[in-house]
Chains A and B, each alone.
Chain A
Amino acid sequence: MSEYLVNLKINDLSVSVPEGTTILDAAKKLNFRIPTLCHHPDLTVAGNCRVCVVEQKGSRALVASCATPVSEGMEIFTNSRKVRDARKNVIELLLSEHNADCTKCFKNGNCELQDLASEYRVGDHVFIDLVKTSARHEIDISSPAIQKDDSKCIRCQRCVRTCHEIQHVSALAVVNKGEHQAISTFLNKPMNDVVCTNCGQCINRCPTGALAERSYLDQVWDMINDETKHVIVQTAPAVRVALAEPLGFDPGNRVTHKMVSALKHIGFDSVLDTDFTADLTIMEEGTELLTRLKKALVDGDKSVKLPMTTSCSPGWVKFIEHTYPSLLDNVSTCKSPQQMFGALAKTYYAQKKGLKAQDIVSVSIMPCTAKKYEADRPEMRDSGYKDVDYVLTTRELAMMIKQAGIDFESLPDMEYDRIMGDSTGAAVIFGATGGVMEAALRTAYEIVTGSEVPFKNLDILPVRGFEGVREASVTIDGCTPEWSFLEGVELKCAIAHGLENAYQLMKAVYEGKANYHFIEIMACPGGCLGGGGQPIPTNEEIRSKRAQAIYAEDSGLPLRKSHDNPEVQQLYKEFLGAPLGHKSHTLLHTHYKGRKRY
């Protein structure tokens, strides 16, 4: 942004802001809140909802404050009669094309349009109801992850911009014009039949209930109430740093043990941790990386593909299946922590607890909507059953807690159950972009050299942060004889989050312009902490607070390296054998499917 300051007046108060600032941001500086709908801080400006219009002295028409840069001597009124009347009229118009069946809506109580309607006391619907007068809209529930209800869509295009700008997917687009304009897919196909990655970033930015997760709350309650079922639940790393938000806390609160408490209170038979299988993922994936390096560098095996990329983000996995099917051999064969957990729940856990697999119901709480799709993949039945039965988002868990009448704040802290409840700091940072890389390096370096990674307090700072694509390298020093071929090798790593960044990185790999060994990719901005199943709103400031919480959680834990997880060690001893062993191969690894790109 320019150094040059522009002077203007807003509601008769003077303010100086850098050239290029919008009226909306300048007003914010003076603490004048201007309502918005199509505006989202993560996205480019659209200026199409017209809710943020303000009066500019000397201008015949009102101007959209989100889309209009300040200019010298400008005089703006954010609350004149003209502005209020027009704004109220616009809100009434939006309501006339919106299915305002609020009481039945998943987003009831967390809807920006509903808030505006109540703020402006839009009571009697002045205008003709365009939803009822048009024969349109069946809710698209073709996808196991996302549901799309066009009758609630106000065409702000936040989803379209998200899908295009942040995710490079463009499964959603604006189609037709005028009265027939809509947000749709290629030839209006069902969501499950197009290039959608199920990342849910669109849901996270939808101001209404037009896009929402497929909710499995009722099914989970049914299972909990079914005496014949043993219902276990796993919680992903990023949930614990965000769950507090919809329950009335500020972003950045860590509520790991209150969450455990709440889940027990709700009635889950066993409350376990995805972090346990995150540690396990590191064991498998770290070993896979080292094996690939050995095969490629020592054995000269041309069939081994490098760089190896991570595979724990199901949005990313589906993205590369569509975008670069020829690079699928570069993707680690490791299942995601959720699915490793699922496969073990109905085998190892069942065995240890003396339960029949068919009596176990495996539920996961995820910051993610793509996890719902992942759990549904036909490949994810290696236990002989559906490995993960139901996936709930962070938002759905918050609803469950509210439904259960739990006073979250006053809950006592409780520990995860055992087995499969123990974890390390390396697992919790899976929730932040760069976290898997950091965790993998902590373990792989130690496997190879017998000593800790050469970073203070094990904090590998170069892989952290929110830069879209980051590069880091570690020179391996002091290898044990078994790994002597890696002595002095500079291990080159790259990290990308958000699929647009992932695309740019993988394009370089595809074109042979990148020579990394290991790449971490997370589909969502900020990694899982900014996942499509996380509380709304999610934005840069909130992502940053959640990230701080995650790293604080890591540094506060006694164990910070995945291979130190005693339960993981026990699992290998009692059940799996060694990483990449036969049983691991059957239960913890998977394969991918090339899909059409367009």
Chain B
Amino acid sequence: MLATTDITALLVQARRGDERAVDHLLPQVYERLRQLAHRYLSGNLHQTLSTTALVHEAYLSLVNQHDAVWQDRAHFLGYAATAMRHILVDHARRKAAQKRGGGQLALDWQSSDIPVDCIAGEMVALDAALAGLGTLDGRLAKVVELRFFAGLSVEEVATVLGVTTRSIVRDWNKARLFLHHALETPP
């Protein structure tokens, strides 16, 4: 784990377009998010995991607030969304692989949780569809990452991507249609 100042420096380098800085950053953010997630779920805390809270907490714990400027936060959220996507999809793949016996479960059932298998399958499928969307329009895919995986609000996504909220709403609506289509019509 790098010190917060190192992460801040990496962010500055990444902001200047240094690709290697990005390569160093992503694993750091991934690891931190994973640790935070497990801390939430371990022991007896029994809090519902909030991806939004995770992403913001990761920022606070990784980036030196004193040196960071607002662009750094926006950039960080961008990376964190990608890392969060990787974490969730990695877990989903593992879960899908160790899928226990028993048939398909309906999503609507009677308690606070949704069946693991369904979620794992949907998550893996979403990741693939999102990758397809990314090759067609990178920004649409990024908007989905930020909104869905990092749980950012429309306004926050607009700040991160430096465009108007109106554009984000448009992008999101379009991406939704594309992904709904991709997920509902099997290949």
**A and B pair up:** no
